[in-house]
Amino acid sequence: MEQEGLKLLAKAREETGLPIVTEILSSDDVDLVAEYTDVMQVGARNMQNFSLLKKLGKVHRPVLLKRGMSCTVKETLMSAEYILSSGNPDVILCERGIRSFEDSMRNTLDLSAVALLKEWTHLPVIVDPTHGTGIKSLILPMCKAAIATGADGLMVEVHPNPEEALSDGFQALVPEQYQKITQAIRPYLELEGKTL
């Protein structure tokens, strides 16, 4: 939807007071997207789009960098380095599942990568169990597990009417399911000294 979509997001922010994270697909659009969004997301398919990363290093917006589906932990850190060394210190890493031979789930959520990244870097690491598994019933257990590995945040897909979603409806939770998850994870957050 390009700029039209950004305007809708801005309207949603105005009405709800919630900050916006949205994906930036090309280095051409960096200035336009930065005008509208609070956090610039780099999707898994662009994790090694180095011209995009370098341009994001010049922007005064935090960058949410998703791990490429066939990229190692070290390569993920090297991609973060492109943004950091270009002048933007605010990078959030996201484990969203890697490609493997396992065919019962959309991806293989690599939670040991989260524990390893928490040792190797000061950058915050969040987890996306929705893309990581592609199976709604696995989102709660993998949220709890992600917290236990030290994750700093969770990213979960929610839609008021998943059947009519324009993409990924099969893996989106309805708001009631989302609310239940936010309750169920609280004791796990507490054990890690964290809150929602």
Residues that bind a copy of itself (CB under 8 A): 70, 72-74, 98-105, 108-113, 115-116, 118-119, 129, 132-133, 135, 137-138, 141-142, 144-150, 187-188, 191
Contact 116, 125 (CB under 8 A): no
Give the residue with the Cβ less far from a copy of itself, 141 or 169: 141
CA dihedral 160, 161, 166, 169 (to 10 degrees): 100
Name the residue nearer to a copy of itself (CB basis): 63 or 185. Answer: 185
Pick left, alpha or beta for residue 193 (phi over 0 → left; psi -120 to 50 → alpha; otherwise beta). left
Shorter beta-carbon distance to a copy of itself: residue 16 or 101: 101
Least distance (Å) between residue 189 CB and a copy of itself: 11
Alpha-helical regions (H) of the chain: 3-16, 30-36, 50-56, 73-85, 111-120, 129-133, 139-148, 175-184, 186-191
Q: How far is the CB of 185 from a copy of itself (least distance, A)?
A: 9
| Smallest separation, CB 15 to a copy of itself (Å) | 35
Q: Which is nearer to a copy of itself, 39 or 105 (CB)?
A: 105
Is the Cβ of residue 150 or residue 162 nearer to a copy of itself in the bound state?
150
Distance CA 153, CA 143 (A): 9
Sheet holding 125-127, edge to edge: 21-23, 39-42, 63-66, 91-95, 125-127, 153-154
